[in-house]
Amino acid sequence: MGLYEDALEYHSRGRKGKIEVVASKSVATQHDLSLAYSPGVAEPCRMIAESEDQVYEYTAKGNLVAVVSNGTAVLGLGNIGPYAAKPVMEGKGVLFKKFADIDVFDIELNAVLPADVIRACEMLEPTFGGINLEDIKAPECFEIEEALKKKLKIPVFHDDQHGTAVISGAAFLNALELVGKKISEVKVVFTGGGAASIACANLYLNLGVRPENILMTDIKGVIYKGRVEEMNPYKERYAVDTKKRTLSEALEGADAFIGCSAGNIMTGEMALKMAKDPIIFAMANPDPEISPEEVLKVRSDAIVATGRSDYPNQVNNVLGFPFIFRGALDTRASAINEEMKMAAVKALASLAKQDVPESVSRAYSGAKFRFGRDYLIPKPFDRRVLLWVAPAVAQAAIDSGVARIKLDMPKYRERLEEHLGSIYTVMRGIKRRVIAGVHAGVHADSAGPTIGVDGNPIRALPKIVLPEGENLKIIKAASIMIEEGICEPILLGDDNLVRERIAEAGLTEALKGMKIIRPSSSPYRQEFANKYFERRSRKGVTPATAYQVMRQMNYFGAMMVQEGHADGVLNGMTQSYSSTLKPAIQCIGTKPGKRLAGIYMFIFKKRVLWLADTTVNIDPTAEELADIAIETARMAKQFMVQETKVAMLSFSNFGSSDHPAVLKVRKATEIIRARAPDITVDGEMQADTALVPEISQESFPFNGVAGDANVLIFPDLQSSNIAYKLLARLTSAEAIGPILIGMNKPMMVLQQNSDVNDVVNMAAITAMEIQMRKTGAMPRG
């Protein structure tokens, strides 16, 4: 099927359309029902009747936006009416929810007259926290928005105007920076003369473009003083004294073209008339005013943006409206004003200059992005946009006086992280606890906190060696580790190459003074070779081969930890799991009497699960399984506030089978109870019995974990490996791992092709392990 057939099938399959209403509270019992509706619902009604502001406390109003349209200017389809506009409005609701967790009701009005739209929105004010006007034709859209802003005490935002203006404004600022032009000097041509074009011009004036440097054109040509055809008061603002009458004439010597009109109205010949390094934003959809291919045929110096996802620099309104409303709703702003829009512009422009996470590249088939002519603004699937734009908008609302509540901005950013997934919350807690340990003076090679002359502990960072120090992601991650105070990273590699890549990444100052070691020329090479020979002399290693082995980053890094020159090692992003593990086992070894095992932590919205062993032991014995369970439970306990509950998994439920595979799990459970009575454990049980309380309540009331297990121990590698990969692929849970347990000293393995954030997260877990080993417990941050 083609795109259009796919779209029809997408909208019609299963439940029709794209949205549904889902209850945010449980309605599973008679008591729940009495709270959700009569008689219990009367109490919040009384509270709101006494004070209207309580509606934000007891209802969904504070997170609910109305997407309102009369269908008079839908996409490039024109006036197709409210029924035909509904798929677009539903889609808008999907984007609000997906990107900013804002709930939406789409409201399609059978109302052509502005007064009718205005009155309808007035009547809706008690229900909604904000109104997003959509696909209403100009000039009526200006009249409607202006009236509603005066009449309503909730934010009103016409996205066709301001969304395009905000996103293109951010791209415009960055394009000017790249070509080295001053905003006060550039000549800009706007085309369209409608809602988006006029809003862009208004915002660009606020950014610093001078009025005398603007020309606007529409379907009748240049908007000039004295023109009467197709004019209105909003266009009149941009009427100028000029002899130019056509778009081609307007573009002579222009620095920028901002297109919000129709496809294919600009030619390569027109582009040739523009000034050096022209900025061409051809944002008409689905066909731009001029295609990037046609521009680049004649102007290799041009910077081009469009509204399409199949070209670089997509000006997509989804980068704006969800996050602008998020900041407005969270401050209970009475309006979305110019200050808030400008804050969004500057936040987007700044974010584009940051390193782009690997997760964004994966969403775009592995494409790599870096600030430049083909990457002016962030991509829609960059989850950091929420954390940059919403706080900036919220702060602007507070500073400009339209916010009705003030926010603690650091705490607000933490709240926003929760919208992005539980992994942000979990990792923030881990990092805080690591930093708390650092400030307490905990260090792996000390007998306790080192006290300074002032009587306070001296801050001591765990030293983590990174054998893949030549890798750019590792370098970037190292800078974040230092910035966030997680650890003192040590990079291994060709020191000249590493410094060259540090400079390329613009991190010379950030990584100034960081230790970089080239193993082949290190003064410790011979010492490490001698130690390695002692360990491996009866396993085919000679002094000569030991010396050669110590050229390898993996072996050298492991020996640094073994000999006390570093506290932990983090490795494996560019090589297989076995290739990473082998040097560590040979140089560091496992804890005496302990089993090596790999754990995955799965972070769901409302629970965290630990799975073991997922990477090492193919078919462990009952004793080995017990050891894995005990080590996993104790590791998990350091990460979680709630009690650790271990479920020993099988295909049998508490004696329903006596197969040898079941007996092994049953015996392992008994061993755990004997060896570690402090651990809550039960088994053998099936996976759903471990996770669903109702099963145990009905059939196994004696179950010690009663459907509330958070540590799942699998009977063998085959089942655990299958399970964790199914969870990773079929659920929305975030996975962290593999976390290695059982090593004699801290050593963690990265997944191949990890992104920078993954590396930082694993460094925090490594630092936590270092501190745990020293103190036996983690400081609570």
Look at residues 640, 579, 573 and name the one whose alpha carbon lies nearest to residue 607: 640
* CA distances from residue 643 to 637, 638, 640 in whole angstroms, order as listed: 7, 10, 7
* CA angle, 42 then 45 then 49, to 5°: 140
238 is catalytic: no
Q: Tell me, what's the pLDDT at 776?
A: 60
Whether 743 contacts 730, CB under 8 Å: no
Whether 720 contacts 649, CB under 8 Å: no
Q: Is the peptide bond before 312 cis (omega within 30 degrees of 0)?
A: no
Could you tell me the two tokens for 451? 């006290």
Q: What's the CA gap between 12 and 10, in Å, rounded?
A: 6
Q: What's the CA gap between 289 and 700, in Å, rounded?
A: 68
Report the amino acid identity of residue 472: L
Which parts of 265-333 fold into alpha helices (H)? 268-272, 292-298, 321-330
Strands of the sheet containing 256-259, edge to edge, are 221-222, 214-218, 188-191, 256-259, 279-282, 303-306
Look at residues 691, 669, 692, 696 and name the one whose alpha carbon lies nearest to residue 680: 669
Q: Tell me, what's the pLDDT at 457?
A: 46
Q: Which residue has the higher pLDDT, 430 or 325?
A: 325
pLDDT over 90 (residue 487): yes
Q: What DSSP state is assigned to residue 274?
A: S
Q: Tell me, what's the pLDDT at 780?
A: 40
Q: What's the first-to-final CA gap in the chain, in angstroms?
A: 54
pLDDT over 90 (residue 773): no
Q: What DSSP state is assigned to residue 2?
A: -
Q: Which bin fits 101, alpha (ψ -120 to 50), beta or left (φ > 0)?
A: left
Confidence grade of residue 777 (pLDDT, cut at 50, 70, 90): low
Q: Which residue has the higher pLDDT, 747 or 422?
A: 747
Could you tell me the two tokens for 251? 């573009």
Q: Tell me, what's the pLDDT at 455?
A: 46
Look at residues 347, 355, 402, 749 and name the one whose alpha carbon lies nearest to residue 573: 749
Highest-pLDDT range among 13-22, 96-105, 441-450: 96-105
* CA distances from residue 328 to 107, 116, 146 in whole angstroms, order as listed: 20, 26, 18
Look at residues 130, 141, 101, 129 and name the one whose alpha carbon lies nearest to residue 322: 101
Picking from 459-473, 662-676, 710-724, which range would have the lowest pLDDT averaged per residue? 459-473
* CA angle, 582 then 587 then 593, to 5°: 85
Q: What's the CA gap between 233 and 226, in Å, rounded?
A: 13
92 is catalytic: yes
Dihedral angle sign, alpha carbons of residues 28, 34, 37, 41: negative
How many C-beta neighbours within 10 Å does residue 658 have? 9
* Alpha-carbon torsion angle 59, 60, 65, 70, nearest 10: -60
What's the rounded mean pLDDT across residues 274-294? 94
* Alpha-carbon torsion angle 553, 554, 556, 562, nearest 10: 160
pTM of the complete model: 0.76
Dihedral angle sign, alpha carbons of residues 87, 90, 96, 101: negative
- Helices and strands of the chain, counted as H and E runs: 31, 21
Q: Is the peptide bond before 82 cis (omega within 30 degrees of 0)?
A: no
Confidence grade of residue 228 (pLDDT, cut at 50, 70, 90): very high
DSSP states along 608-625: EEEEE-SSS-SS--HHHH
- Three-state DSSP class for residue 773: helix
Report the amino acid identity of residue 72: T
Q: Which residues of 125-137 are buried (b: 16+ CB within 10 A; e: fewer)?
A: beebbbbbbbbbb
Query: Among 10, 16, 25, 37, which one carries the catalytic annotation?
Result: 37
For residue 114, the Cα-to-chain-centroid distance in whole angstroms is 39
- Angle separating helix axes 553-562 and 525-536, nearest 10 degrees: 80
Matching residue, tokens 């920076």? 177
Q: Tell me, what's the pLDDT at 75?
A: 80
Q: Tell me, what's the pLDDT at 332?
A: 97
Q: What's the CA gap between 455 and 249, in Å, rounded?
A: 76
DSSP states along 360-379: HHHHTTT----SBTTBSS--
Q: What's the CA gap between 478 and 473, in Å, rounded?
A: 8
Confidence grade of residue 90 (pLDDT, cut at 50, 70, 90): very high
Whether 766 contacts 773, CB under 8 Å: no
pLDDT over 60 (residue 575): yes
Confidence grade of residue 700 (pLDDT, cut at 50, 70, 90): very high
Q: Which bin fits 758, alpha (ψ -120 to 50), beta or left (φ > 0)?
A: alpha
Q: Tell me, what's the pLDDT at 1?
A: 60
* CA distances from residue 304 to 26, 34, 196, 276, 296 in whole angstroms, order as listed: 50, 59, 18, 13, 9
Could you tell me the two tokens for 83? 């029924």
Radius of gyration of the chain (CA): 31
pLDDT tens digit string along 58-79?
Answer: 999 999 999 999 999 888 788 9
Q: Is the peptide bond before 684 cis (omega within 30 degrees of 0)?
A: yes
Q: Tell me, what's the pLDDT at 454?
A: 41
Query: Among 61, 92, 637, 645, which one carries the catalytic annotation?
Result: 92
Picking from 99-108, 155-164, 333-342, 361-370, which range would have the lowest pLDDT averaged per residue? 361-370
Q: Tell me, what's the pLDDT at 420?
A: 75
Q: Which H helix or E strand runs over 6?
A: helix 3-12
Matching residue, tokens 């699937």? 381
Mean pLDDT of the chain: 91
For residue 227, the Cα-to-chain-centroid distance in whole angstroms is 49
Q: Tell me, what's the pLDDT at 437?
A: 73
Q: Long-range contacts made by residues 440-447, C-beta under 8 angstroms, separation at least 24? A: 440/779, 442/771, 442/774, 442/775, 442/779, 443/567, 443/774, 444/567, 444/568, 444/746, 444/770, 444/771, 444/773, 444/774, 445/564, 445/567, 446/774
pLDDT over 90 (residue 310): no
What's the rounded mean pLDDT across residues 239-256? 96
Could you tell me the two tokens for 66? 């109305």
Q: 446 CB contacts (<8 Å, ≥6 apart)?
A: 460, 774
Q: Which bin fits 540, alpha (ψ -120 to 50), beta or left (φ > 0)?
A: left
Q: What's the CA gap between 614 and 627, in Å, rounded?
A: 14
Q: What share of the chain is helix, strand, coil (3-state, %, to 5)?
A: 45, 15, 40
pLDDT tens digit string along 411-468?
Answer: 999 889 877 767 777 888 888 888 877 666 554 444 444 444 344 443 478 999 999 9
DSSP states along 413-457: HHHHHHHT-HHHHHHHHHHHHHHHHHHTT--TTSSSPPB-TTSSB
What's the rounded mean pLDDT across residues 216-228? 95
Whether 611 contacts 715, CB under 8 Å: no
